[in-house]
Structures are given as C-alpha cells and as structure tokens.
Structure 1
C-alpha cells in the first residue's frame, strides 16, 4: 500500500527529529518536503543528504515545490507566532495541519485521550500542546477517569541542550498552553504548568512530575489506571516510564489548598504524585532529549491515524 506524503516546516531540533522518525519508523507516512528558512541549518542539510525535497524559503517555498499537491499532511515545528502565519497561507490548499507549536489554533490533541473525537470531527488543524503536556496530560486523565481532579500541577524538566531557539522563544506560551490543556484534555478543574531548562552537565533525561489534589477515592484503582496509561504511552514512546510508584500523601489539616481550587470544588484530602521519566530514542539528539521524542512520536501517531481514518479510508471506500 502506498504511503501518504507529508511535509515538515521547521528545520530545528524538533523538525529534524520528526523527519527522521517519519523516514525510519512510519509504515504509512513518506517525507514529501523539509522546509526551513536557514539554508545552512543542519536539518535542511540532513534532508538533502537523505534525498528529501527541501526549500529554505519557508511556506512560500513549500507551496511552490513541484510535489506540493501530493502532500496531504503538514507538520509545523516552528514557533507559535510563525504557525499563525503558516496556517493562514496553507488554508486555501486543504492540507491537514499537525501543529507542534503552542499556537493552539486548532484543538489540543493527546493521542490516547481525545484523538478519536477529533478524527471523527475531521478537524483540519490539530495542536500537539507541548512536550510537557504530551508527557503529563495522560497521567492527569488517568487519575481523572477514576475520581474528580479539582487541581493538577505539572513540572517538566528538560535538558537545556535539548531546547532550541523555538522552544526558548515559546516559554510563556508553553506554560499557558499546557495549563489550559491540563484542564481541557486532562480533565482537571484547574491546571498549572512549569517548565525547567536544566543546565546540568552531562545533560539529564527529561523528568516530569504530576501532582493532583483529590477527595476520597480508591487508591488501588488510581494506581492501576496510571500503570495502564503509562504502558499505553510507551507503545509509541518506548522511553516513557514511571520513575517510581504513585505517591499518596494526606493533605495536612489547615493547609490552604482551597486557594488552588476552582469555585465549587469539593473537599480535597489527598495529594497524588506521579513521577515520570522520558528517555529519547536518539533519532537526532542523544537519549537525554526525551522532550523531542515524546512530542515527535505523538505527532507521528496523530498523522498516521489521520491517514488511516480520514485520508486513506474514504478513498478506499470510494474505490
């Protein structure tokens, strides 16, 4: 069965890792173009060596490429501001957009939580939230499907070396987008997100901490739900794992947790803490860059499902 062609906009760390994953690991996607604005970028140089069509003229150059009409899906791995312009330029051409920036023009998508819903709605532009969101929102959801979560807070710690210019330029958008998605996708009543660029040498693997406040609940059911979710994420991100057992800590009497809760929230009696580690596949940057791996692996999973559910399937039915 023929593969479906995709383009990657952004020749930095995320875009280059994404290109390599499509080339090495996907049975349904084929690189149709690698797009950048710096002709000397390593991503464009690698694409040329690998025989992938390239342009250093951004989206305008992509639209002008001879094979543009054959490209069905466009990944955008630039920046939040750039994606707004890119999406506007691509809108007339009917491409499916997978947005790896915090722009969030389209709905947030975390594959194991809400992808089916957005595929059914045939959404044209889906947003991959952030690396921290892809790592932690499945855990918030895993807890929320057992018991209400009035408040959830995540801390994503990534190696400073793995954060390129686009990531650094989007720190504010990272925290805002992730916090909103913790609520909208994860199911928390209120969400908060923090990102830490860890300068340690040698670089440390991505670590994530998820803290949820809950009322009375079945702790064993939460443990089982979290373990099941971790195993499911690891199916497409093999380096994703629980760092230790889920922790349950009573909320001390008198602790002012009510200041964190949304209006109308019930009483909370327990802090649930989940510790995660994400080791990268080292497709581009070394294994410490799990933040690249969780984001690009999730994006590939989404694009593959777009192909099988909304691009290829209708054509097969028609034939």
Structure 2
C-alpha cells in the first residue's frame, strides 16, 4: 500500500486496453499506478511514458521483482495469463484478468451478489460477457432459458492483435460464463469485427428461448440491469427489446464515455470500467 493509503497497482500489457486502463488508474482516488509493464519497447510503452506512467519492458518478471502490489491487471493475452498467475500467486497480490482465459473466479459487477470476497484470482470473462451477462442473468431470474444466443459486434479499429489471436478463447469463455450465470443448457456465442467506416459502436444482440417468459417482469428486470451497468459504464444502452411468450430479443450498445478512447471502443470501455471498479473495492486487495 502506498504511503498515502492508496492501493499500489500495476498493469501488464501496453495495448489499447492497457493504455486506457492506465489512464483510468491514474485518475483513481484510491489506487496508485506504480508500474506499467510490456515485453518490448514499442508504441504502447512510449505512449504510456508520455502520459507520465512508470514503464518497463521487463513484463511479468519486472512486476514480480518490483513487488509490493495489492492488485495487478493482466491486459495481455490468454496464452500468457496462466504463467502470469503462477508468477504472482506467491506474492499475495490480487490478479484481475482482462484476458479470456476462463481461469480464476468469474466476476461481472453488473450482476448483484457476484462480487469476489477475498478472491485473489479474478476473471472478467470478456467485454461481450460484461455487456451481455447482466441482462441475461436478469432474464434468467424470471424464466428458465433453454437456449441463449449472443452476437457481439465490435469495430475492427477497437480490436488489437491479442483480441484477434484470442477469438476462440473469447467465444469459449463467454459461452461458459453465460451458462454459469443463467443455467441455460445450450449457449451459442458469435463475434464479428466490423471494418465499417465510420466505426460502429460495440453492439451485443441476445436471443433467449424459454417456455415461461412473462413480458412485464422481463422488461422490468432488463431495465434494472441496464441501470446497474450504467452506474460504472455510462455508455451502456438497451437499443431494442422484443418480449414474446417464448422468446426475448434484446440488443445493447456500449459507447466509450470520456477519457482517451474513441466512442466506438465501447468493448474496451466496459471491461476496463469493471476492472477499476473491482480494484477500488477493499475486498479485492490483500
């Protein structure tokens, strides 16, 4: 912990997610960004240095050597994350995973009652999971979904190399999380990267099939879920909703609100907002 009482944190990764995350942390009243770590000198680390962030090219080794971190954010890639947790576990730091590995305790802040209690390995599923699961969990509280379909569409410009490399893990982890939070036996997740210009906002379209849907409670639950997410991701909006006795079709959009992100980078905005929110809770610090 820093001398002023703030929790010391570090960021692994210098891509779009890592840069935006560092910017948010630098503005936090309860967190001190003590280190941003990449594996090579490049645009990302130079941008972070220009922002006034402490940087290193030493990657996970530099983070472990620096020590004394309450929270470390992993904004690298799914293949590297298991090794990062293995290295950090003995240090006592909490690791918040922004990669789609599916390891650790799955957490979606927009779902009440699913915040970690002393868990040191936290998994934020995916940006699509963060956008879809609050809505789907709300629906599952008033019916028993038999099938759920989730289609995520992100601007190609908002998807870095790690996101593209990890698309298979993204789909698998998001599918597993949707099943876990809803109890649906059959889940299908699809991802589109759109090269359209102007770049479209981050969109997630969901379809739920069930036998016992009650339209009025479904609409009420979905509206409440959207309000909960907007408390930390103001750009979250339900753009369409159709409720029938056996089918719910709902679509949401997420636009980046403020900061250094372009508006179309809502996928980055929602998962980074969730990550900072969790880190600012004393329950996740060591």
Q: Same fold (TM over 0.5)?
A: yes
| Residue ranges of structure 2 left out of the alignment (5+ in a row) | none
Matched, 1:58 2:67: no
Could you say which structure has the higher helix fraction?
1
Q: What do the CA deviations read for 1:110-158 (whole angstroms, capped 9, x no partner)? A: 11326x45523x2210100000010001111010011111211110100
Query: In structure 2, how many angstroms separate the alpha carbons of the residues matched to 1:60 and 1:3?
Result: 23
User: How far apart are the structure 1 equivalents of 2:17 and 2:114?
Assistant: 26
Contact 1:146–1:222, Cα closer than 8 Å, also in 2 = yes
Out of 245, 248, 271, which is 2:243 matched to?
248
Distance 1:223 1:209 in 2: 16
Would the alpha carbon gap of residues 310 and 168 (structure 1) be closer, same or farther in structure 2, given more than 3 Å must change? closer
Matched with 1:252 is none
Q: Helix, strand or coil for the counterpart of 1:81?
A: coil
Please provide the CA RMSD for this pair: 1.6
Counterpart in the other structure of 1:259: none
State the match for 2:247 in structure 1. 271
Number of aligned residue pairs: 283
In structure 1, how many angstroms separate the alpha carbons of the residues matched to 2:221 and 2:191?
A: 25
Alignment partner, residue 37 of structure 1? 39
Match of 1:297 among 270, 273, 284: 273
Structure 1 gaps of 5+ residues are: 250-268, 313-319
Residue matched to 1:204:
200
Pair 160,151 (structure 1): closer, same or farther in 2 beyond 3 Å: same
- Deviation of 1:30 after TM superposition, in Å, equals 1.6
Answer whether contact 1:100 1:295 (CA < 8 A) is retained. yes
Contact in 2 for aligned 1:239/1:279 (Cα 8 Å)? yes
TM-score normalized by the length of structure 1: 0.85
Q: Distance in 2 between matches of 1:185 and 1:113?
A: 9
1:251-307 CA-to-partner distances (Å, cap 9, x unmatched) read: xxxxxxxxxxxxxxxxxx6110111110012523311010000110011111112xx
| 8 A Cα contact 2:38 2:56, kept in partner | yes
Which of the pair has more CA radius of gyration?
Answer: 1
Indicate yes or no: 2:116 matched with 1:119.
Answer: yes
**Who is 2:98 aligned against?**
100
Q: Distance in 2 between matches of 1:20 and 1:45?
A: 14
Alignment of 1:152-231 (within 5 A): 152-231=148-227
Whole-Å separation in 2 of the counterparts to 1:311 and 1:174: 27
The secondary structure found in structure 1 opposite 2:234 is: coil
| Residue of structure 2 equivalent to 1:132 | 128
Q: What secondary structure, in the 3-state scheme, does the structure 2 residue paired with 1:226 have? A: helix
Match of 2:141 in 1: 145
In the other structure, the counterpart of 1:266 is none
TM score, norm. by length of structure 2: 0.94
* Partner of residue 264, structure 2: 288
What is the distance in 1 between the residues matched to 2:193 and 2:213?
34
Q: Distance in 2 between matches of 1:188 and 1:29?
A: 37
**CA contact under 8 A between 1:239 and 1:280: conserved in structure 2?**
yes
Moved over 3 A (4+): none
Contact 1:23 1:30 in 2 (8 A): yes
Q: Which residue of 2 aligns with 1:316?
A: none
The structural deviation recorded for 1:310 is: 4.7
Structure 1 pair 222–172 and aligned structure 2 pair: CA distance change class (3 A):
same
Using the alignment, how far apart are the partners of 2:56 and 2:36 within structure 1?
7
